[in-house]
Amino acid sequence: MLFWMFVFLLARQSSLTQGHPDLLSRAATEASCDCTINSCRTLFDIVWGCLATIFACTWVALHQNVPDPDLGHFALLMRKLRMMLMTIIAPEVIVGFAARQLVSARWIAKEFNVSTTHGFFCTMGGFVSEEGHPVSKIKQLPAYMPAIQKIKKADIEDKSKGDTLSKGVAIAQGLWFVTQCLARISQHLPLTELEVATLAFAVLSVVIRLLWLHKPLDVQQPIVVARSEVEIDPLHGEDITRINNRSDTLWQRLVGAMTGEYDTYQPLSSTSVPSFYSIEISPKNIHRLVHNVVGILGVGSIFGSIHCAAWDAPFPSMSEMWIWRISSVFIAAYPALTALIMGLAWAHDNHISAAVFAFFLVVGYVVYPLFRLFLIILSFTTLRSLPPSVFVDVNWSNYIPHL
């Protein structure tokens, strides 16, 4: 309820500003003033603040799985750039990825009496056998768990490029941007479309960072563990003629990113796990998986709804206004419709309902990125024509107790 009140207030802020003569007078005066004065901000300040926040919400916030040890620096860079692009186009996918890993990590921690950090390290491909193959299947864990339990949590955290403090600072950065937006709303100062889009990223970034709070960051090399002397690798002897995720089609990679299902992935023919891989959910945690799906779809609707908050914002042209409105409505409504159609498909459980659901997903995979690109492009093109009140900075002294 509080979130929808926030969206409502954000949507009204532009119309309130237009109807407030004092603020317009102040804006007209200060927009032409020397922008070194505290009460004024420049277009550069707006763009730089948004780009820095988006960078922190994408590049810095990403906690990747452990890569192939033989990858070079350029390959590692391209790997992260691809994941960053996925975060910009469909950040809900990253939320789902992080949520899946958290559920698996907690289950491993509870089942084998280890820390959640150990659980994350298992699900991100951090432990490999003496032969160099990832220990990345649930049925592998009992054979290698005695060795994993001997590894200290501090030793795993030592491989991380970020600790709890640095992650907390990053979360605070996202919250600070949200606070600035709330302050502008409270003082009836408008936000640019770029700031609204950045606000959506900031909100999702806080969620992602909290989900990955105990996951090691940017680990480059795995830890070798030996299996128990009385156990053999349960995967030994299985068909490993299929190659790992590198031979998957684009569709299989998209499905893997969304669901974590990699049917062609075989640990014994690989030296690393796929980029969006997470150890499969235990049957005991199926109810948590369902809750995660509902939560991911809810987060997707929130992400789109924040864009809808710029509904009445001033646009340079009517066409840009309607493209923004249609795109933001689709981004907000598609996750909810997906949940509805998924529920109907499961309820009827026939070929027709399954075909309808598959068709809906295919359309979404094509149309959703298109509308996301529209919103990203409009966030920058609308900067060419801004109202004077946009350049008025927040008066923070209003929030400081004084006589």
- How does DSSP assign 236-295, residue by residue? TTS---S--GGG--HHHHHHHHHH---TT--GGG-SS--TT--PPPPGGGHHHHHHHHHH
Question: Do 194 and 218 contact (CB within 8 A), yes or no?
Answer: no
Whether residue 17 is predicted with pLDDT greater than 50 in this model: the reply is no
Q: CB atoms < 10 A from the CB of 165, how many?
A: 8
- Residue 134: strand pairing partners: 128
- Which phi and psi angles does 127 have, rounded to 5°? -105, 135
Lowest mean pLDDT among 35-39, 138-142, 314-318: 35-39
Kind of pairing between the strands at 223-224 and 127-128? parallel
Lowest mean pLDDT among 128-142, 190-204, 280-294: 280-294
Q: What's the pLDDT score for residue 378?
A: 94
How many domains is the chain built from? 1
Does 12 fall in a domain? Answer: no
Lowest mean pLDDT among 80-84, 101-105, 219-223, 229-233: 229-233
Lowest mean pLDDT among 128-142, 216-230, 251-265, 291-305: 251-265
Pair of tokens at residue 19: 């109807």
Q: What is the average per-residue pLDDT within 68-76? A: 86
Placement of tokens 């750039």 in the chain:
81
Question: Do 370 and 328 contact (CB within 8 A), yes or no?
Answer: no
Instruction: In whole angstroms, give the CA distance from residue 46 to residue 31.
Output: 14
pTM over 0.85: no
Q: How far is CA 94 from the centre of its chain?
A: 4
Q: Which of 159, 161, 197, 157 is nearest to 177 (CA)?
A: 197
Pair of tokens at residue 9: 């207030």
Residues constituting the chain: 403
Q: What's the pLDDT score for residue 14?
A: 43
CA separation, residue 19 to residues 97, 353, 389 (Å): 44, 50, 12
Does 49 fall in a domain? Answer: yes
Q: CB atoms < 10 A from the CB of 321, how many?
A: 19
Q: What's the pLDDT score for residue 352?
A: 66
Does 2 fall in a domain? Answer: no
230-237 long-range Cβ contacts below 8 angstroms, 24+ apart: 231/142, 231/143, 232/143, 233/129, 233/140, 233/143, 233/268, 234/137, 234/139, 234/140, 234/143, 235/137, 235/139, 235/140, 235/266, 235/267, 235/268, 236/268
Specify the 3-state DSSP secondary structure of 44. helix
Does 243 fall in a domain? Answer: no
Q: What is the average per-residue pLDDT within 249-277? A: 69
Cα first-last separation, the chain? 35
Question: Do 137 and 275 contact (CB within 8 A), yes or no?
Answer: no
Q: What is the pLDDT of residues 333-359, one digit of tens each?
A: 888 787 777 666 666 666 666 677 677
Q: What is the average per-residue pLDDT within 209-214? A: 86
Angle in degrees, 0-180, between the axes of helices 2-18 and 21-31, rounded to the nearest 10: 70
Pair of tokens at residue 259: 């669901």
Higher-confidence position of 61 and 117: 117
Does 396 fall in a domain? Answer: no
Higher-confidence position of 375 and 399: 375
Range of the domain at 362: 37-235+250-263+272-388
Does 106 fall in a domain? Answer: yes
Does 102 fall in a domain? Answer: yes
Q: What is the average per-residue pLDDT within 196-200? A: 91
Q: What is the average per-residue pLDDT within 29-50? A: 68
Higher-confidence position of 322 and 300: 322
Residue 186 — very low, low, confident or very high, per pLDDT cuts 50/70/90? Answer: confident
Does 18 fall in a domain? Answer: no
> Which residues have C-beta within 8 Å of that of residue 110, sequence separation ≥ 6?
none
Residue 255 — very low, low, confident or very high, per pLDDT cuts 50/70/90? Answer: low
Instruction: In whole angstroms, give the CA distance from residue 67 to residue 124.
Output: 9
Instruction: In whole angstroms, give the CA distance from residue 26 to residue 84.
Output: 40
